[in-house]
Amino acid sequence: MEAYLLDFGNLLLRWLHVIAAIAWVGESIYFVMLDNGLRPPKSEECKKKGVFGEMWAVHGGGFYHNQKYATSPEQLPEDLHWSFWKSYTTWLSGFGLFTLLYLTKPSFYLVNRNSPWEWAANMTGWQANIAALAFLLLGWIVYNELCKRISPNMERDGILSVAVAVMMVVVAYLSTHIFSGRAAFLLTGAVMATAMSANVFFWIIPGQRRMVAAMKAGETPNPIDGKRGKQRSVHNTYFTLPVVLLMLSNHYSFTYSHELSWVIMTLFIFAGALIRQYFVLMHAGHIRPGYPIAGVALLLVAIWIGAPKSTPAPAAVAPAATQSETAAAGEETAAPAAAAVTTAQVLQVMESRCVQCHAANPSQPGFAAAPAGVMLDTEEHLLLQAGTVKQVVANKYMPLGNITGMTDEERALVAAWNGQ
């Protein structure tokens, strides 16, 4: 019952997270589109009122007239719309999910037993939890310091963009070497998501509150608040597509189980940013097909890198006695072909090492159902997941943390299986 309630809580929290994220991302994309789609006002009356730009739109059977003021409007309504709760709800629900799924089972989900760094491979559960939280916090601190030091007055945003891109490459490399594959992709996305929400909490909303307070006091708002808010909002919009993809990646083991997973992750991040750039420019009236073409090219490179390598099963070596007899007889015969690994043999390995979690009724504490719906407790279920099983077992991603003690011999047997 406890595992069932945890799963049900997971479902409800994930539902809330997705709803809040859709609302936040949708509103963010809309306002970027609106800002870039503004045109100089044609009415002299609007110009006199300080209207910087306007956009007419039709939607849902009605017409909309949006206006942006470069300076203070004559008056502000009391029911001024603010955009921040969607951001906070998205981050808080996402962190709640991370806590429920990962921080409660760190040895299972966070620790990378195959890390080339001994200290990472030997972390205890609580050490992995601290490392994960520190990773998120340091990600925000480094990003924020880059913004403050490189382009404090929003005059060197191009150089800042390069610095943030380099930072994300480093984050991808470190995450895949410190944490297990799926957690690494999630944490890299969470670093960007944390920066996005923190931008809203620490910079965008406080700056807007200062602007509103100044206007209500009859003072001229500090233009730096508007510029800084715009800078951080632009960063958020470029983070959006990579974050969504990284959050979805945990369903696809070919992304996080590869030995070059950090390269694949980096290509995904840059591809998402390039594709987003195309739409940002399109809203401003500039069509630049080179951006999505470059983004798709990076995705194709990721596909090429992540493609499974087909390696033939090693040939069996004939017993020593047989070799001696053959040599004595002066005969030159080829060694017999290796006996094919059967599905029944692989199923035995699954029953010993995998079905504790991947079964209709898992015996592993804390699991009410098979993770990701992958069941390996029958031959039929195993054959449906053959390609994935071979890959994650060969890459030593599964079992997570090798909690069931799968041997190298068992991994070799699964790798030699033809999946039929």
The burial of 182, by beta-carbon neighbours within 10 Å (0-12 exposed, 13-18 middle, 19 or more buried), is given as: buried
- What is the C-alpha to C-alpha distance for residues 189 and 255, in angstroms, rounded to an integer? 14
Q: What is the pLDDT of residue 301?
A: 96
Phi, then psi, of 356 in degrees rounded to 5: -55, -35
* Residue 182 · residue 109 · CB < 8 Å: yes
Q: What is the pLDDT of residue 316?
A: 40
Q: pLDDT (tens digit, 0 to 9) for every residue of the chain, 420 residues total?
A: 666 777 788 889 999 999 999 999 999 889 888 888 899 988 888 888 888 899 999 988 899 999 888 767 777 777 888 888 999 999 999 999 999 889 988 988 899 988 999 999 999 999 999 999 999 999 999 999 999 999 999 999 999 999 999 999 999 999 999 998 889 999 999 999 999 999 999 999 999 999 888 888 888 888 899 899 989 999 999 999 999 999 988 777 778 878 899 999 999 999 999 999 999 999 888 999 999 999 999 999 999 998 876 544 444 433 444 444 444 444 444 444 456 889 889 999 999 889 888 888 888 766 777 777 788 888 888 888 888 888 888 877 788 767 788 888 888 899 889 877
The pTM assigned to this predicted structure is: 0.79
The CA distances from residue 203 to 120, 131, 179, in Å, are 34, 26, 30
Q: What is the pLDDT of residue 215?
A: 84
Q: What is the pLDDT of residue 336?
A: 45
